[in-house]
Each structure stands twice: as C-alpha cells, then as structure tokens.
Amino acid sequence: MKNIKIFSILILIFSFFSCSNEPVDPVLLNQLNQQNIDISVVNNGGTNNGGITGGNFTATIDGLNFSADATTGNLSTINGVNVLSITGSKPSGEYIGIQLINPTTGTFVVNQLGGNQTISYKQDASTPDIYAAYDINTAQPTGTLTISSLNLVTNKISGTFSFVGHLSTTSTQTKQITNGVFTNISFTNTSIPAVVNPLVGSYLQTAFNTSTATDLNNDGTTSSNQMLETSCYNNNYLILNADNTFSATSKGVDITASVTANSVTCFTDPSVTGTWVSSGTMVTFTYVENGVTIVSNFTIAGSTLVATTANDHILSRNAGTLVEIISNSSVVYTKQ
C-alpha cells in the first residue's frame, strides 16, 4: 500500500528537618546519586539552609490526625537539577517530608525507582526510623502524590498524598498515611531557571504544498496546498519535547487505495516517536519504523518547520480520474 505519509517519508533537600543529621530518604538518595548530585550538599548537616514557613500541612497517620505546627520549603539547583523539598513538622520531631526533582504539576507514583518524587514520615526525634513509600520486599512504590498547584512567582505549592510507609530495614513495620493535604506551602527559591530551546512545543501541520497543483476534491479548482483539497492531513501534530524527544501523528492520503477506488482515501498510522536535534536553521528527526532507522530534516522558518522532498509521489487527477504522479513537495508545521 502506497501512502503519502508525511512524517515517515520526510521527515528536595532534607536540610530543613528539625533534627540535625537525619538520614536522607534512601530512594531519594539513589535518585540523586543517579543524577550526579553531591549528597553532602543536599544534607548540609541537617541545618535549615534558608527554608521558609507558611501554609497548612495535614494527614491521617494510622487513624490519628496529624496537623503540622510548622512548614518549611526550599527549591534550589544542585548540579543543574532543581530539587524542591517541603515538610510539615511538630515540636516532637514528627514530620512528613516530600521531595521533588525538577518539580511540576500532575499525579505521580511516589518513591518509584527512577522517578522524581519521594515522600517519607518520621514519628519523633527519639528514633532514627524513617518510613518511606517503598516496600523493600516487593521493590515497589507504595504511594501517590498529586501536585495541584506550583507557583514559581509566589513560591507556593499545594497538593494531596497518601502512602504506606515502610522502614528500609523491614517491611513488617508500616505506617498508613492517608488524607494528606498541603496547601500554599511557601518555599525559598534559589533555583536557576532552565533554559528551554525555543523550538520546544506543539506544531500543527498547516500545509502540504506540491509543485503541481491538483484538484483532488474534483470541484474544478486546482490547489498547490493539498490540505485545501482533502481533509486527510487535518490535525496532524508534531510535538518537540524539552528532553529532545518528539512524537508525531501520521495521517495522509493512501495513494494506492485512492487510485484503485477512484476516490480519495485517507489513512491513519500509529504515532511516530523518536529524538530531535537542532543546528542553525535545521532540525533533524531520527526514529525507527519497521526496524529501519529514518532521518528527516526540517528547515526552521520563523515559527514554522518545513520539510521538502524532490520527486515525491502524490495523488492527482487526469480527466477526473485519480492517478499517481511525481511532484516536488513541502510539508509545513506551524508552532501553536
């Protein structure tokens, strides 16, 4: 089956805790180590390190109400990674702490290996035991966290959580933490804003131009932009992510089926995913399709990305009959 397939052809810091020298959540420690963050900087001897107070922090712990007498928070950049830590604590040393690496809003499974969110609970200052949302026996995370609001202008964060707390030495001793809510927790912010490539964002296909005008809709008027002749390319999206991955829908005209039926036939294939890099006025996309690595180059033209193909196969009409012809083509995606 021969298709005009646009893309495939072209294309937290624990330093705020009330008791000094408390151990860092082992799951967070592992994650920080993986990202080459110096743990001595994170721990900083258990001092306050500039965290500020403000907001409400409550939960139910084994059926008993927990309401923090104090809250603190700090967002800082460590070796290029932004780490946000917030805590709700009581004078006894009891606290719940949440740590977020490169924080953002959303709902997350916490203490997931390789994840960016961890949560833990300590009953009082007299014990070193920390209950984390991770079961060492099953090697599975045991909590959820929703960040409903994160304001980097007012430096406040809100959300909800629940988890089963496990000790790092045994899974037989647990704490059930439910109904967790933190509202407008204030935090100091000494983080360095990430530099985002201006190409990052969502693009919509706005044109499929051909050097030979066609009349696919058979209305007597020819067009060089095939999107004026058929809806097969409508809502084709290309999304460039900040981590240099991309995804793109893959829709277009099925040439073979159209010629056979003498009726314009559309196709929709699975979305394409891969990586992208930019250099000068060029963006290069690399992905694998049917086991074959494909490299597609797009030219940056203002707010658009344009890919051109010489001697492309397109659909046209000859005396009203749909036929396959050869034409130069260009696909245009416009940033939204």
Could you give the percent of the chain with pLDDT greater than 70?
83
pLDDT at 237 over 60: yes
pLDDT at 135 over 70: yes
**pLDDT for the residue numbered 168:** 83
Task: Name 282's bridge partners.
Answer: 279, 299
**pLDDT for the residue numbered 257:** 95
Return the number of other C-beta atoms located less than 10 Å from residue 38's C-beta: 11
Tens of pLDDT, residue by residue over 5-19, are 444 333 322 333 333
For residue 233, the Cα-to-chain-centroid distance in whole angstroms is 26
Tens of pLDDT, residue by residue over 151-170, are 999 999 999 999 999 998 87
**156 close to 188: Cβ distance less than 8 angstroms:** no
CA nearest neighbour of 119 among 137, 146, 139? 146
**pLDDT for the residue numbered 44:** 32
**pLDDT for the residue numbered 114:** 63
The residue with tokens 């930019």 is 278
**pLDDT for the residue numbered 146:** 96
**pLDDT for the residue numbered 111:** 85
What is the average pLDDT across 174-199? 90
Tens of pLDDT, residue by residue over 304-313, are 999 999 999 9
**pLDDT for the residue numbered 32:** 39
What is the average pLDDT across 223-247? 93
171 pLDDT band, cuts 50/70/90, is low
Tens of pLDDT, residue by residue over 75-113, are 999 877 899 999 999 999 999 999 999 898 999 999 876
* SS3 readout for the chain: CCEEEHHHHCCCCHHHCCCCCCCCCHHHHHHHHHCCCCHHHHHHHHCCCCCECCCEEEEEECCEEEECCEEEEEEEEECCEEEEEEEEECCCCCEEEEEEECCCCEEEEECCCCCCEEEEEECCCCCCCCEECEECCCCEECEEEEEEEEECCCCEEEEEEEEEEECCCCCCCEEEEEEEEEEEEECEECCCCCCCCCCCEEEEEEEEEEEEEECCCCCCCCEEEHHHCCCCCCCCEEEECCCCEEEEEEEEEEHHHHHHHCCCCEEEEEEEEEEEEEECCEEEEEEEECCEEEEEEEEEECCEEEEEEEEEEEEEEECCEEEEEEEEEEEEEEEC
Mean pLDDT of the chain: 84
277 pLDDT band, cuts 50/70/90, is very high
0.75 surpassed by pTM: no
**pLDDT for the residue numbered 238:** 95
The structure tokens listed for 68 are 């923090």
52 pLDDT band, cuts 50/70/90, is low
